[in-house]
Each structure stands twice: as structure tokens, then as C-alpha cells.
Amino acid sequence: MVCRLTVYDGDHVTYIDANKGDHLLSLLKENEIPIDSTCNGNVTCGRCKVIATGLVGTLTEQEMALLTPEEVERGVRLACMVRIDGNAKVYLIKE
């Protein structure tokens, strides 16, 4: 199934066609969207934070260990742990 991923980087919007099950961090990198991923997806750096809404996989315990309760409340996810389940929106976070 082809999914539409809409990525918001401030005022800049990028549309990405994805397949169900695709890995968000990989999609962002393949489409040259800048995202910090210091640990290269090993879920140790906590740098690949985005806000992800829509049809994405559920929050994992590994992510919760690297996110504050406030971030969880805001819908912040670690891109290296997110699988695409359908149409979704992703907002890049500038710190």
C-alpha cells in the first residue's frame, strides 16, 4: 500500500510516497531531509526527535526511556523507532 508522508520543516513541506512498514528515519534520509541521528538508529542518542501524527506505529518502551513525559504528551517520537502504517504527518523539531 502506498502511503503519503507529509514532512513539515518550518514553512517547507515535503511529500514522500512510502510503503506500509517503511522506517521513518530511513525515509527522511533517503529524501535528504536533515535529521540528527548521531547513534545511527541504535536508539541511544535520542537526537532523532520528530512529532509524528497519523498512521504510525505505537510508542515503544525504548522511546519512552529517551523522552520526557512532556514530549510524550506532545506526540514526540524517535524517527528511528517509527514505522509507517499509512498516511502520516511528521514535524521536524528544531532545538
Number of residues that bind ligand FES (CB under 6 A): 12
Q: Choose one: 12-20, 41-49, 53-61, 86-94; the region binding ligand FES (CB under 6 A).
A: 41-49
Based on CB atoms, which residue is closest to ligand FES, 4 or 36?
36
Instruction: For residue 47, state whether it binds ligand FES (rule: CB under 6 A).
Output: yes
Kindly report the number of other CB atoms within 10 A of residue 24's CB atom: 27
Instruction: For residue 51, state whether it binds ligand FES (rule: CB under 6 A).
Output: no
The one-letter code for the residue type at 86 is G
H or E stretch including 76?
A: strand 76-78
Residue among 28, 35, 21 nearest 6 (CA) = 28
Q: Is 83 helix (H, G, I), strand (E, B) or coil?
A: strand
Instruction: For residue 80, state whether it binds ligand FES (rule: CB under 6 A).
Output: yes
Instruction: For residue 46, state whether it binds ligand FES (rule: CB under 6 A).
Output: yes
β-bridge partners, 51: 76, 91
Q: Which of 9, 22, 29, 43 binds ligand FES (CB under 6 A)?
A: 43
